[in-house]
Amino acid sequence: MLFKVGIPTAPSRLVLRHATRSITKESATQSNQVISNKQLLYTTDPLTPGSIFFLPHGTRIFNKLVQFMKNQQIKYGFQEVITPLIYKNKLWKQSGHWENYSEDMFKVMGNVSKEDHEVQDVSNEAHEHHHEHEHNAEDEEYGLKPMNCPGHCLIYAKFDRSYNELPIRYSDFSSLHRNEASGALSGLTRVRRFHQDDGHIFCQLEQIEQEISNTINLIKNTYGVFGIETKEIEFHLSTRPEKYIGDAKTWDNAEEQLTQVLNKTTGENSWKIREGDGAFYGPKIDVLLTDAFEKKHQVGTIQLDFQLPTRFNLKYVGEEGNRDHQPILVHRAVFGSLERFFAILLDHYQGKWPFWLNPRQAIIIPVNEKHVGNAEALQKELSGDILNHDEVISPMTGYNFYVDIDKRNETVGNRIKEAIQKGYSYILMLGDKDIELGTVAIRSRDNRKVSNLTSQEVYKMFIDLEKHYK
């Protein structure tokens, strides 16, 4: 799934095409690190293994991905929530994670309560205090969340629910932690701390098919924005594992529901079964992409869950007034791990980011020192509404772009060469003639052809490129 990306000189559709390069012993992780080191995207440190430090330019890409998905979530009826990172083990026992997933969780001890320290250990109360302390110590054991579903169940359970509210869709982008074995850690693709475009849908039985169909369509359309064609996406139905909660009949029903939706949305012969690879609480559809080194990565997922609504006693009032109806829970993610999807895109674009996603969208090169002032004025104008704004407080909305200036005492040719190496989408050159005519000379990263446009025309072109994800 490796492409070379050509950035258009005018706002035409982005063209992606397969690259031809030999696959060496270099891994995708090593390849990504090489690109990251050149573009200063992310780093790691042995003091926090499996956790990523996104540098300023990497954070720009990360935030663009998050904002992109937040906009899609709104369109599909999701409401974003923010939930805690740690919960007492009582929650994880209720959800089943403590029994079935605790080895993959980070456990945290809270401070013993102040009241415990103040209790006097007098002889006639020593035995009672000992047991009280044991109880409180257990009560103060926490788990860092490896997923958001129990927290979303708590939100659902806080209020009385009615059938006419369903489906209720929550999205969550907070960080998750999973205690992966140190030997399994690998760059961005296998980490201990990660972010997920997580979503949970509480719905009625008859709404399942539509909700899952919507998610599969969103997956296809989203990946298409990045030039990933439907034929490159693998869908796998992961069935009941050896270690599971609930009864086999409920599992069979859930697997049948997923089978029917997959057949309708992707075709009967276009997906595979992964026997016994489901989550402990329900079967799932896993979405896989293959990198240039022929390694498969699971990205998106859709999971059908009849178990957590039972464990959390989730209810809603039906149309006939019965308050004992139980919702179905659908877990879903499109990107999956943002860190892993970031790695997929690094491999996919090989550092040649499309304009809308590029952390280095344009650079202005003044021909000599006397053009620097004009270049700075142009930078402010092209950067958009935050910088090109006279008010003390920046506006909440508008188009904003990453535009730099290279005013070093180097030849124009050398500065253009370095700009191309750094991956800037557009290079703008400003000299005497341009200033006299009120234009700027602009070329793309991959095309030597130079056009002369006004600053307003360049800004309009930038807006059009971002609007159409080019």
Query: Active-site residues: which are they?
Result: 149, 178, 196, 198, 200, 284, 331
Render the burial of 194-229: b for 16+ CB within 10 Å, e for the rest: bbbbbbbbbbbeebbeebbebbbebbbebbebbbbe
Write the CA distances from 305 to 90, 92, 222, 308, 418, integer angstroms: 20, 16, 24, 7, 52
Euclidean distance between CA atoms 295 and 288, whole angstroms: 10
CA distance 132 to 118: 13
**Contact in structure between 114 and 60 (CB atoms under 8 Å):** no
Q: Give the residue among 224, 227, 234 at the shortest CA–CA distance from 266.
A: 234
Q: Return left, alpha or beta for 405; rule: phi > 0 is left, psi -120 to 50 is alpha, else beta.
A: beta
Tokens of 56: 């300023």
Cβ proximity of 454 and 439 under 8 Å: yes
* Residues 89 and 141: beta-carbon distance below 8 Å: yes
Task: Say which amino acid occupies 331.
Answer: H
143 - beta bridge partners? 87, 107
Q: State the Cα–Cα distance between residues 307 and 251, nearest whole angstrom.
A: 10
- Euclidean distance between CA atoms 91 and 95, whole angstroms: 6
**Residues near 59 by Cβ (< 8 Å), separated by ≥ 6?**
none
Residue 430: how many other CB atoms lie within 10 Å? 23
